[in-house]
Structure 1
Amino acid sequence: MKVGVILNPVAGGGRLKRHWLDIGVALKAAFGDFDLRETQAAGDGSTLAMDLAANGCGLVIAAGGDGTLSEVADGLIKGAAEGNRAALGILPCGTGADFARGVGLEGNFATTIRRMAASKGRAIDAGRVSYIDDHGALASRHFINIASLGVSGAVARAVNADERKGRVSAKALFYWRTVAEFIRYRFQTVRITVDNGEPIEASVGLVAAANGRFFGGGMMVAPDAELDDGQFDIVILRAAGKLGLVRDMRLLYGGRHRNHHAITILRGKRVTVEPLGNADLLVEADGESPGRIPATFEILPGAIMLRD
């Protein structure tokens, strides 16, 4: 089987790149020769994944953080639509690595590679989010873990612009950026429709369509989400006192917020969020913020074969 590897050379502050000699030896021992590509700019992961799949790679390994993984998954989904199917592998190293945390990939690189080589693969779901991009055009992208809107969009932009990224722990960086953005955040009113249900009008801080369980550097926002159940866990944070919500943020790290008075958790295959009044909320998908509402989130059952 041909294997391709897509490396983000700046992931984790360049940690993957610095250890690449040892990682490459471990990959070759597990898979034989492989085709290595490096990303240079945003969006490269998707293009490179499509190219590797089209050139006969049966496994494409995303070596980087959640953003790299999301782009590679996006490319593999697009490639599969053209008849070029390839499985997805993960070598996690990034600011959040939340998807990897959700599937239990928190060991060292050698252990992760051995586990990947032994895996028979499993079909998991992915998501597609449609939104308005920063130029005012309708756009869409795939995601593999969690897409959301509200304060999370502002946090994603702040974290990605933070010069300390890669030099401090992901948990600390996300926590302090979340607190800072939440304090300045303005609750806004939206209309939320899940599948064909009755629309919900609410002033919200967050709406998350979760395929995986973790986001934001270790927050277990959707503790009951499953990657292969064909639906999202939809987490809605309604407006409430900010000081109390900041205090209760600790509950997210252990997934202990299910019964919180400001939290509603639903399940569904399609979620639409429309602005009411002057609402203008940023969208986030797998740690990147590509645009704003209105937004639609759709589940794609079994869209990715994961070797984990």
Structure 2
Amino acid sequence: MRQFTAIVNPTAGGSAGAAALLRVARLLREAGAELETEYSTSLAHAQELARRAGERQRVVLAVGGDGMTGGIGGALSGTDTVLGIVPAGRGNDFARALGLPADPAALAGILLHGSPRAVDTVEVESAAHSRTVVLGSVYAGVDALANRHANHARVLRGAASYYAGGLRAVATWRAVDYRVTVDGEEHAHRGYTVVAANSAYYGSGRMIAPGARVDDGLLDVVMIREAPRRLFFALMNELKSGAHASRPEVRVLRGRHVRVEADREVPCGADGEVDAVLPVTATVLPGSLHVLC
């Protein structure tokens, strides 16, 4: 029977993290599994707790949102430690990409009996963050600004905060001249954003990269070109289904190593946590994390 260490972010969705864990913890213990709980005081603390639990050969449960999951997953990347996820944040996009169920009983069944799956992680380097490993995507442009607005929202939560943040960001955005280098080949791009996606989803369920897979050893590089604002708002709505990918304003490349630069200071982010500015590089680390899903 598996031994679990749950690491809870007490600020993710208020008390949602503790509540989500309680529903699953009862089922794990009833099945005979051992479960201990650790409460983190910061993302760095959560990562240290995860490393220590891994050294004791325990399955680490990340309880929280994408920032928590990505931070812990990044800390365990390249190790033999198995990660489990109890989604309890605003977006839960990586859990969505893995197909994890919301039902506590179904999730407990996966944690107890599921086989670990090797998935890719992404090494990110920027001026502000010398080296960070994340799980979902790296984005540079209007979406990074929208995420910054969403993180500071005091009233709206979940998808609503991202949508409101997007409207606010687009209203003031000026097109950027990017230089995007994918596996050594340089591409000029003028537009709204560049996203290097390991996962199909970001921004609370928006399917930015419909073809992205977490275990294919590649990043899907989505570039949205300059267009009238009314068209960009239409694109935002199409992110719900991934239909935007068929528009001529959207270009998708694939590669293992991506560098994004710009002609001015442009915000960039990763997994809802990293808040930096360009230039940034993203390198896929194939099969470097073992996840129960």
TM-score, with normalisation over the residues of structure 2?
0.94
Question: 2:243 — aligned with what?
Answer: 256
Structure 2, unpaired ranges of 5+: none
After TM superposition, give the deviation of residue 162 of structure 1 in Å: 1.1
Q: Indicate conservation of the 8 Å contact 2:25/2:35, yes or no.
A: no
Q: Indicate conservation of the 8 Å contact 2:215/2:287, yes or no.
A: yes
Q: Quote the Cα distance in structure 2 between the aligned partners of 1:7 and 1:31.
A: 21
Aligned amino acid, residue 159 of structure 2: K
Aligned match for 1:127, one of 103, 106, 122: 122
Q: Quote the Cα distance in structure 2 between the aligned partners of 1:291 and 1:30.
A: 44
Question: 2:46 — aligned with what?
Answer: 45
Question: 2:150 — aligned with what?
Answer: 159
Aligned match for 1:118, one of 99, 113, 129: 113
Q: Quote the Cα distance in structure 2 between the aligned partners of 1:106 and 1:280.
A: 40
Aligned match for 2:207, one of 216, 220, 223: 220
After TM superposition, give the deviation of residue 110 of structure 1 in Å: 2.7
The answer to whether residue 170 in structure 2 is matched with residue 182 in structure 1 is: yes
Q: Quote the Cα distance in structure 2 between the aligned partners of 1:20 and 1:269.
A: 35
Q: Indicate conservation of the 8 Å contact 1:30/1:113, yes or no.
A: no
Aligned amino acid, residue 177 of structure 1: G
Greater CA drift, 5-14 or 212-221: 5-14
**Structure 1 pair 106–177 and aligned structure 2 pair: CA distance change class (3 A):** farther
TM-score, with normalisation over the residues of structure 1?
0.90
Q: How many residues align?
A: 292
The answer to whether residue 260 in structure 2 is matched with residue 273 in structure 1 is: yes
Question: 2:103 — aligned with what?
Answer: 108
Q: Indicate conservation of the 8 Å contact 2:124/2:132, yes or no.
A: yes
Aligned match for 1:142, one of 119, 130, 133: 133
Q: Indicate conservation of the 8 Å contact 2:137/2:199, yes or no.
A: yes
Q: Indicate conservation of the 8 Å contact 2:267/2:278, yes or no.
A: yes
**Structure 1 pair 109–172 and aligned structure 2 pair: CA distance change class (3 A):** same
Aligned match for 1:232, one of 219, 231, 249: 219
Encode CA deviations 1:15-37: one digit per residue, 9 max, x unaligned. Answer: 23245544321232346222311
After TM superposition, give the deviation of residue 90 of structure 1 in Å: 0.6
Q: Indicate conservation of the 8 Å contact 2:122/2:133, yes or no.
A: yes
The answer to whether residue 57 in structure 2 is matched with residue 56 in structure 1 is: yes
After TM superposition, give the deviation of residue 163 of structure 1 in Å: 1.3
Aligned amino acid, residue 147 of structure 1: V
After TM superposition, give the deviation of residue 164 of structure 1 in Å: 2.6
The answer to whether residue 233 in structure 2 is matched with residue 246 in structure 1 is: yes
Q: Quote the Cα distance in structure 1 between the aligned partners of 2:223 and 2:206.
A: 15
